[in-house]
Structure 1
Amino acid sequence: MIVELFAGPGGLTKGAEDEGLRGVGIEWDANAVATRRAAGLATIHANVRKHGPRDLPDGTILAAGPPCQTFTIAGSGSGRAELDRLVTAVKRMGAGETVDPREFADERTALVLEPLRWAISDFECSYNAIVLEQVPQALPVWEAYAEVLRDEGYSVATGVLRTEQYGVPQTRRRAVLVARLVTAGRRPRDRP
């Protein structure tokens, strides 16, 4: 089952379901939730911070596109200004520390850390795959994630993709992280 954090209207979940995977999304925006539900997609209307992997124990794939407002050129820029602190926070999380979102000028910036919390929690199983996307300015965060995830037994690739090269009818660049569990050090979840 694919677990989609910051699920929006459901494009990733819909694509997964079209390929035969079950999916569930967590989304707090009421309009996005209404769109997901109208499409028949399983949805939890909630703040991602209020949940964790124990709430969705059948998840085998973790996908997320955290809010980008503090990272975009058009946005406040507070996330871009705190990239070094975010990278340090990722390393702290990899060492087992908890990071308080109030450590950042805008708590929305810390939402980019939520997928890592889900991925490396003390829950008894690991996700078989992790897929994350964000605006290009957040690539250093994904690169820091990659170091932590490699230590957790994942093969990881990061980079910036140009969506028009993949059949999307717009020119949009996205920083992505794709990880696959390869080490037996952590027990993979049962496949769907």
Structure 2
Amino acid sequence: MNNEIDKIKLDKAFELLNFRLTENKSDLVEIVVCGGSALIYTGLITRTTKDVDIVALMKKGILSSPDPLPDVLIKSFQEVAEDLGLDDNWINNAVSRGEGGLFQLGLPDYFQQRLISRDYGEKLKVHFISRIDQIYFKLYASVDRGGYHINDLLKLEPNDDELLAASRWVITHDVSLEFLNLLKNFLVMIGYEKVSGKL
């Protein structure tokens, strides 16, 4: 089973998800997507991913928590997983689940205005986050978890002003002195000493 998702497979999965939502008599579902699938769709980075990270839901222009996900969405994306041989949780809300989630702790200013939207049919609209918001989220994930998030962040090539703004946002999510020191050391490690010195 090849559960790696590239842009072609991502589009196919969303088109099929729209079909399944229609079959299951769903209302319009609008999801806000971050992470690798948003990077792939927007062409910011060329790679594959294993899942679609839902950071928020939207209804009539209002963002809301994706925790919990609507039952009809879960049923529909699990059917798509079976159709395409994807992981059962190829769509998930892990990034905005519980009190420490990204949505719950607060999204960046003007986040919604920067979304890049695509209609996949009458029942599914997907909003992908922007490059700026990827920088914010990837900086937070890089300091918190490291790994491939660091590579993603560096490929986005943030300038000093962008990384400073992102840094000021991430320290509102973890206000501990320990996290601030980790952040400052990380910025030095990746070559942004000037940004580190302004925190």
Structure having the larger proportion of residues in helix: 2
Larger Rg, first or second structure (1 or 2): 2
Structure having the larger proportion of residues in strand: 1
Relative to the length of structure 2, the TM-score reads 0.22
